[in-house]
Amino acid sequence: MKPSIVYCLKLLLLLALGGVTMHVPDEDTVVASLGSLRLDGHFGFGHDAHAAARDFGNRCSLLPAAVLHPGSVSDIAATVRRVFLLGRHSPLTVAARGHGHSLLGQSQAAGGIVVKMESLAAAGGGDTAMRVHGGHVDVPGGELWINVLRETLKHGLAPRSWTDYLHLTVGGTLSNAGVSGQAFRHGPQVSNVNQLEIVTGRGDLVTCSPEENSDLFYAALGGLGQFGIITRARIALEPAPKMVRWIRVLYSDFETFTEDQEMLITAEKSFDYIEGFVIINRTGILNNWRTSFKPQDPVQASQFQSDGRVLYCLELTKNFNHDEADIMEQEVGALLSRLRYISSTLFYTDVTYLEFLDRVHTSELKLRAQGLWDVPHPWLNLLIPRSTIHKFAKEVFGKILKDSNNGPILLYPVNRTK
């Protein structure tokens, strides 16, 4: 019986798209409604509101009437409760904003209130502090994953499942899914949460878990913020490795590429991270890799031609500690011997665990320096059944997308049981 597998596809097409702008000028009403609230934090207007009317998608601008900078969880509960008590005919809406990585205004609120969750993490102390104990970490919903990693590494621990980009808030990714190359083994981030603290739509502060208020727990995880605002999460941890062997290889045949991916995610002993991406008509792809990776065979790699071809890159990592380097080399060698990649395209490097997990931020800094970060980002994320992935690839990569200069195309399988 074949294992149950689904493919995760992520495309970023950098297109010139028309945006959406909305402005609902109702600041006086909001001030009148919220002015009597006693807060540990404060409300912001003007510049704050304009900053909250943008997101990573950069395709729409919805101007809020106010931005809440919470100094405590009680600030969020009190604000939501006040809006709820205004009744269903009130035009006020509330949106939680983490690092603003929504794609089409989901973290915005036209004429309403945006809750800046990062302010909660910045407040520090009390109910906004991060705490590591036992096999888990308690984290404010507005804390960035990169900060969670740095804090847990001090204890020799780290969360099991990640996103590719760590400068996102805990509550933000848990409200979506949090999928990366570890998901085949550990599931997405939403599958690695032991407990949540949530402010519901009535302004109640509720603790929930698989055993307590479980309906709310499972609704909020991946619930896009529609069942409450995640103000704290208890995340499962595991011992953190010191180092990572980071490997890239290329395939020219899609069927071979997917068969090798599927073999790896179902093997009892495998790599620790498995992703893949599609390369369409890229010039000198291996020469570009040389800035960060070493070719196993420099001569063969220098003769490889990628122009005019559709290629598939398998990206893999194996975690290890310094005293386990020899064992890691043996395990990696055994796994690579089972793969059918183009032999001249094996590239690798050894980096720290932190450097690997924070790799996308390095690319972000380069794009910001070139003025290419604050542009429209129409991401498309799909889960595609294994039974139709080959037909999908033939139609999309073979006929629709003629080059991959518009942005990355990630493609990798995950186990549905996770």
DSSP string, 153-205: HTTTEEES---S--SSBHHHHHTT----TTHHHH--GGGSEEEEEEE-TTS-E
Number of alpha carbons in the 13 Å side-chain half-sphere of residue 257: 26
Number of alpha carbons in the 13 Å side-chain half-sphere of residue 38: 0
Helices and strands (H and E) in the chain: how many: 15, 20
Q: Supply the pLDDT for residue 406.
A: 65
Residues taking part in catalysis: 101, 164, 275
Summarize the chain as % helix, strand, coil (round to 5): 35, 30, 40
Domains of the chain: 23-120 (3.30.43.10), 123-239 (3.30.465.10), 243-410 (3.40.462.10)
> Is 228 within 8 Å of 264 (Cβ atoms)?
no
Among candidate residues 307, 317, 299, 246, the one with its CA nearest the CA of residue 279:
307
Return the structure tokens found at 43. Answer: 């409300």
The backbone torsions φ and ψ at residue 90, rounded to the nearest 5 degrees and listed phi first, read -70, 140
- Residue 238's contacts (CB-CB under 8 Å, 6 or more residues apart) are 135, 157, 158, 159, 160
Calpha distance 273→373 (Å, rounded) = 26
Amino acid at 260: D
Among candidate residues 259, 261, 269, the one with its CA nearest the CA of residue 335:
269
Amino acid at 224: L
3-state secondary structure of 63: strand
Calpha distance 176→150 (Å, rounded) = 23
> Is 204 within 8 Å of 153 (Cβ atoms)?
no
Q: Supply the pLDDT for residue 19.
A: 55
DSSP string, 71-101: SSHHHHHHHHHHHHHT-TT----EEEESSS-
| CA pseudo-torsion sign 263, 268, 270, 273 | positive
Distance of CA 347 to the CA centre of its chain: 25
The backbone torsions φ and ψ at residue 369, rounded to the nearest 5 degrees and listed phi first, read -65, -30
Calpha distance 308→399 (Å, rounded) = 14
Residue 35: CB atoms within 10 A of its CB come to 8
pLDDT in tens, the chain (418 residues): 567 899 998 887 544 444 555 545 455 666 677 878 999 999 999 999 999 999 999 999 999 999 999 999 999 999 999 999 999 888 889 999 999 999 999 999 999 999 999 998 877 666 678 999 989 999 999 999 999 999 999 999 999 999 999 999 999 999 999 999 999 999 999 999 999 999 999 999 999 999 999 999 999 999 999 999 999 999 999 999 999 999 999 999 999 999 999 999 999 999 999 999 999 878 788 888 988 999 999 999 988 988 778 899 999 999 999 999 999 999 999 999 999 999 999 999 999 999 999 999 998 999 999 998 889 988 889 999 999 999 999 998 878 877 656 678 999 999 999 8
